Amino acid sequence: MPPAARLRLRRSLRSDPPDAAALKCPVGSLQVGRFAKPSRTEWHSVLQGLGNPWFRLLRHEVEALVTAKSGKAGLDKKKLQKELADLNKEARKIKIRLKAIERRQAELTKELDG
């Protein structure tokens, strides 16, 4: 999503009460503000299948912060590390499942032979 479109989406979802400055609290370099809850129509038609809009906005802000601090290469490296960690986790789960299948297979073979 281009930055201008992301900014428009963010502005359309945010509500600015009179004391908005008092509600904002800094978290590192990010500013966490108060957002209005999207209507049911927005949830089901515009944002359907795209994930939680609040997490998407936060992810974009964090990515912008990481890019500002460590550059585009740093962001790409972090994304690759995350993907590798996810693949390793999935491989461990598959190995555990395979061991359970092999155990059951051995039990059935032993029962058939015995």
Per-domain residue ranges for the chain? 3-113
Paired strand residues for 37: none
Pick the most confident of 5-9, 66-70, 103-107. 103-107
d(CA 31, CA 23): 10
Summarize pLDDT for 30-72 with one digit per residue, the tens.
Answer: 444 545 555 555 555 554 556 677 777 888 888 888 899 999 9
Whether pTM exceeds 0.85: no
CB-CB neighbours of 20 under 10 Å:
12
Q: In terms of Cα–Cα distance, which of 76, 96, 26 is closest to 84?
A: 76
Q: Is the pLDDT of residue 7 over 90?
A: no
